[in-house]
Structure 1
Amino acid sequence: MTWISIGKVAEFFGVTTQSIRDWTKQGRLEAIRTLGGHRRYNLEGIEKKLGFENENKKTILYSRVSAHDQKEDLVRQKQELKNYSEKHKTSNVVEISEIGSGLNYEKRGLKKLLSLILNDNVKQVVVSYKDRLMRFATQILEQVCTAKNVELVVLNERPEKKFEEVVVEDVLSVLTVYCAKIYGRRSHERRKKRQNKKRTSTGVSNSNKE
């Protein structure tokens, strides 16, 4: 029987030693104490537990498009991800698909994905293209996946573009988002003014009746 330190256990699960202490208190892991008061864990038991945890973790099939007129592309992405899942006989699959800008970090699907990863419920994330996750800052999400031992599978690589093309596309993406916000706000203000006028005119009509 081999006994290992709490630090080694934390490395196995890809979490902090504090998480291991919490799991031990919750009864999820068993430990003994050395004469010096240090926790020691049975290696064989940890390996079994780790295998069980991995079996119950999810594979996320994530697809996204930026606008409603791209629904056909969304359907294509979803089918491609399903084909990959079936080919590799993936179990415990969760599909997340949504329509929204890659610059919007408040999307419901993306927030659900991050929540599952941060709560150690994911073993693999599969996407058609890397930029389907986020338009920018994908490296941050990759680092989160690495820290949580989550495999990020990208099925397709886009052709290499010139630096100038990349910059132009990025600028256009930012402008599109902020223009949409401006137009949306103006539309909201106009709608609000119409509603106020309607209320005012209704109030005047009622007072005339009295």
Structure 2
Amino acid sequence: MMKRLVSIGEAAKAYGVTPLTLRRWHESGKLLPDLVTEGGRRRYDLSKLQPAAEGRPAQSDPRRTIAYARVSSHDQKPDLERQSQVLESYCAAQGWTYEIVTDLGSGMNYRKKGLKRLLDDIIEDRVGRLVITHQDRLLRFGAELVFAICQTKGVEIVILNQGEDTSFEEDLARDVLEIITVFSARLYGARSRKNAKLLDGMRKAAEADGA
């Protein structure tokens, strides 16, 4: 059979992975291209890729699909269950082998157990796809940084709902209260009546917005 050399983009589609994954396989020696042009472009023999294109993967990305869900507080557990169900249904419908990782904590807390585990797995190249319902479910501020890490590591990001998260205002009010609580501990320690009065006013305003 005559060789038909294709670009890395076509080869990636045949294998069901991203071009970045093929580049990483090349660099690690896991899968070498059949030709590298003088300009550094990789070319692959299509005849070797046909089994994968027909649904019989010759070699698949061993990394996992992680679906991540988060809520801010214990009384939002029903929403956490709802997020998990939505993620499970979507991943199952795509035919992916997946794992659900859940967190209970503020969207501004970078030290949550589930998030730390997720980041460790991404950095260690154990995650190939990240699925979330909304961007804010990952982090309130700083999600773009996580996405940048994912891009560097060749992790596909799937956000099911690009619209507004219906729990945004409630979660934001909880996050503001958490900030106030931290500052309260510091300012109350100074025994300042003025600071205490100011913080009480801020707390009441945040609670009113979240009601």
TM-score w.r.t. the length of structure 1 is: 0.58
Question: Is residue 57–residue 92 contact of structure 1 (8 Å, CA) maintained in 2?
Answer: no
Indicate the SS of the match to 2:139. Answer: coil
Q: Structure 1 residues 79, 62: closer, same or farther in 2, change over 3 A?
A: same
Q: Which residue of 2 aligns with 1:82?
A: 88
Match of 1:58 in 2: 64
* Aligned with residue 135 of structure 1, among 134, 140, 158: 140
- Rg larger for: 1
Q: 1:82 to 1:115 in 2, by over 3 A?
A: same
- Unpaired segments ≥5 residues, structure 1: 187-210
Q: 4+ residue runs of structure 1 moved beyond 4 angstroms?
A: 1-4, 19-22, 30-34, 40-48, 182-186
C-alpha distance in structure 2 between counterparts of 1:118 and 1:151, whole Å: 15
Q: Distance in 2 between matches of 1:133 and 1:159?
A: 12
Worse overlay, 134-143 or 58-67: 134-143
- Matches of 1:84 and 1:21, distance apart in 2: 32
Counterpart for residue 73 of structure 2: 67
Matched pairs, number? 172
After TM superposition, give the deviation of residue 94 of structure 1 in Å. Answer: 0.7
* Equivalent residue number for residue 102 of structure 2: 97
| Equivalent residue, structure 2, for 1:176 | 177
Query: Any idea what SS the aligned residue of 1:125 has?
Result: strand
Residue 13 of structure 1, CA deviation: 4.6
In structure 1, C-alpha distance between the alignment counterparts of 2:165 and 2:79, rounded to whole Å: 18
1:114 is matched with which residue?
119
- Counterpart residue number, 2:198: none
Supply the AA of the counterpart residue of 1:84: Y
TM-score, normalisation: structure 2 = 0.58
In structure 1, what is the equivalent of residue 14 of structure 2? none
Name the SS of the counterpart of 1:152 in structure 2: strand
Could you tell me the percent identity over the aligned residues? Answer: 25
- Structure-2 separation of matches of 1:51 and 1:63: 33
* 8 Å CA contact 2:106, 2:175 repeated in 1: no
Q: Could you report, residue by residue, the CA deviation over 1:125-144 in whole angstroms, capped at 9, with x for unpaired residues?
A: 22222200000122222333
Is there any run of 5+ residues in structure 2 with no aligned partner, and where? Answer: 12-17, 188-211
Indicate if the aligned counterparts of 1:130 and 1:154 stay in contact, CA closer than 8 A.
no
